[in-house]
Amino acid sequence: NVLILDFGSQYTQLIARRVRELNIFCEIFPYNHFPSDLSSYKAVILSGSPFSVRAEDAPHPDLSQIRGKMPMLAVCYGAQYLAHFAGGEVAPSNIREYGRANLSFIKGEEAFFDGVNLNSQVWMSHSDTIKSLPTNGVRLASTKDVENAAYRIDGETTYAIQFHPEVYHSTDGKQILENFLVKIAEVPQNFTPNAFVEEIVAEMQEKIGNDKVVLGLSGGVDSTVAAVLLHKAIGKNLYCIFVNNGLLRKNEFDSVLEQYKGMGLNVKGVDASARFLDELAGISDPETKRKTIGRVFIEVFDSESHLLEGVKFLAQGTIYPDVIESVSVKGPSATIKSHHNVGGLPDFMKLKIVEPLRMLFKDEVRRVGATLGISPALLGRHPFPGPGLSIRILGDITPEKVRILQEVDYIFIEGLKTHGLYDKVWQAGAILLPVNSVGVMGDERTYEKVVALRAVESTDGMTADWVHLPYEFLMLISNEIINKVKGVNRVVYDISSKPPATIEWE
Ligand code: XMP
């Protein structure tokens, strides 16, 4: 295992993902809160940071248990931190280096740079620079502006680099990480989807024994993979509940329920649409909608699970980014929207929690799902928010508006599929606007609803750009929507990126 110490860099998760791509398991811990027993770790990576090491309030953890005792790679801030406290000098640089640079010197005989050529492009992002190396430092690389772009400490397996190997623009970044982890630190590359499944199944069996587990399925990738994994571990002792909140996509409830049954899961579909729509009536405020749906979901789920006897565990599809977020250096980041399905159910349920996916990134969840034989169509589904269509109906929600939006959304999504565009888009959907506009159909003047279509590219939903869908496609879809969906006479396409907009409109 590899331990990544996070100093608050925006790139820390990226380091973890690159390491995992090498089939090496790694975990991120905040610099001020890491395990005291490090015996299960084979190497440590220090991340970058927005701080200057010279600042009073910068992270200055005690690394005496790590440095010199196990292989260590210090990246950016990490490299400066090492230099600053071990006899070197860090100072503001005359030239702030941001972006691409090229390695103008490489100490070629070092295993650290195996397979890396002179001039290799690296990604820099720092304003301080390492003026002189720490005691016993040996320079390994330079760029035009940064003399000490990489160094190691003589007599230790300690390496440091000023640039960011985890960033895609560092052409040989992955090779450098591999050189350090595999050739130098000799970490085994045994973290594969199959190995994960085997290990987690054993762990779940051990933890759960013969007890019963209840799990809320949503139709999404995470809860589905969690269910199939648990099913493999404990079979019929897993009870799944799939709640229809009346705000799902058209036909979604029935078709997903069918698929789950086809996968051998023990699943109960609960149609609570009427109750959700009743409770939502008259509510326009987005946060109140989310809270209402969250509350009703818990009430429905709670009373359903009380019908099952002797349930001891609640399973959740929490994934690693949620886990890191909640313990990160920066703390849970400011709530922009309260995503109700992150954070779990209240403790009145008195159930112990199991989270089989809590160590996986999204793409790893998909790979594990594929190993488990879940269909590519299910694994490739776009993300869909827990509050469903409620946050895509601007203003108050009525059954009629839900119907209109379901029809529009259906035409759009099916259109993306038939035109081979669905897999090129990260997320897509339609939004029902709270305005009417004038139109003309035949000789009649109409005064009907406007819908917006949204399709974005993203990797994690944190940032996103609108997809440049072909005009031809937009034309066909717009015609089909206006012709087929009663109550809509205008279609617009959202061309805003995130930031400053968000993916959802509410
Ligand atoms: P935003 O609108 O914040 O969306 O750019 C980012 C991603 O999060 C999804 N989203 C939600 N998911 N409950 C959820 O489960 C919510 O309340 C919620 N709000 C937004 C959104 O669909 C996108 O994938």
Domains of the chain: 2-184 (3.40.50.880), 193-379 (3.40.50.620), 398-493 (3.30.300.10)
Whole-number Å distance between alpha carbons of 64 and 325: 27
Whole-number Å distance between alpha carbons of 366 and 369: 5
Contacts of residue 391, Cβ cutoff 8 Å, sequence gap at least 6: 286, 289, 290, 385, 504, 505, 506
Answer yes or no: 306 catalytic: no
Pocket test for ligand 1, best of 247, 337, 463 (most atoms within 8 A of CB): 337
Per-residue confidence (pLDDT) for residue 330, from 0 to 100: 65
Please compute the mean of the pLDDT values over residues 465-479 and round it to a whole number.
98
Per-residue confidence (pLDDT) for residue 347, from 0 to 100: 54
Given the residues 26, 27, 76, 84, the one annotated as active site: 76
pLDDT at 70 > cutoff 80 = yes
Averaged confidence pLDDT in the chain: 93
Per-residue confidence (pLDDT) for residue 325, from 0 to 100: 74
Q: Which residue has the tokens 């390994």?
A: 140
Given the residues 27, 97, 126, 166, the one annotated as active site: 166
Give 8-43 pLDDT, tens digit per residue. 998 999 999 999 999 999 999 999 989 999 999 999
Whole-number Å distance between alpha carbons of 180 and 159: 8
Q: Answer yes or no: is 219 a known binding residue.
A: yes
Residue 445 Cα to ligand 1 middle (Å) = 37
DSSP 40: T
Per-residue confidence (pLDDT) for residue 345, from 0 to 100: 55
Q: Answer yes or no: is 115 a known binding residue.
A: no
Whole-number Å distance between alpha carbons of 146 and 164: 13
Of 188, 180, 182, residue with least CA distance to 73: 180
Residue 197 Cα to ligand 1 middle (Å) = 28
Walk across the sheet containing 26-30 and list its strands: 26-30, 2-6, 43-46, 72-75, 158-161, 150-153, 137-143, 89-106, 121-132
Whole-number Å distance between alpha carbons of 107 and 115: 12
Of 430 and 328, more confident: 430
Per-residue confidence (pLDDT) for residue 348, from 0 to 100: 55
Given the residues 26, 27, 97, 164, the one annotated as active site: 164
Q: Answer yes or no: is 224 a known binding residue.
A: yes
pTM for the model stands at 0.86
Lowest mean pLDDT of 3-12, 47-56, 211-220, 334-343, name the range: 334-343
pLDDT at 138 > cutoff 60 = yes
Q: Does ipTM come in above 0.95?
A: yes
Whole-number Å distance between alpha carbons of 82 and 158: 10
The radius of gyration of the chain's CA atoms, rounded to the nearest angstrom, is 26
Q: From the CB of 341, is ligand 1 less than 6 Å away?
A: yes
Give 267-321 pLDDT, tens digit per residue. 999 999 999 999 999 999 999 999 999 999 999 999 998 899 889 999 999 999 8
Answer yes or no: 60 catalytic: no
Residue 8 Cα to ligand 1 middle (Å) = 24
Q: From the CB of 427, is ligand 1 less than 6 Å away?
A: yes
Q: Which residue has the tokens 């895509």?
A: 392
Q: How many other C-beta atoms lie within 10 A of the C-beta of residue 107?
A: 15
pLDDT at 259 > cutoff 50 = yes
Continuous segment of H or E residues that includes residue 405: helix 399-418
Contacts of residue 174, Cβ cutoff 8 Å, sequence gap at least 6: 18, 21, 22, 165
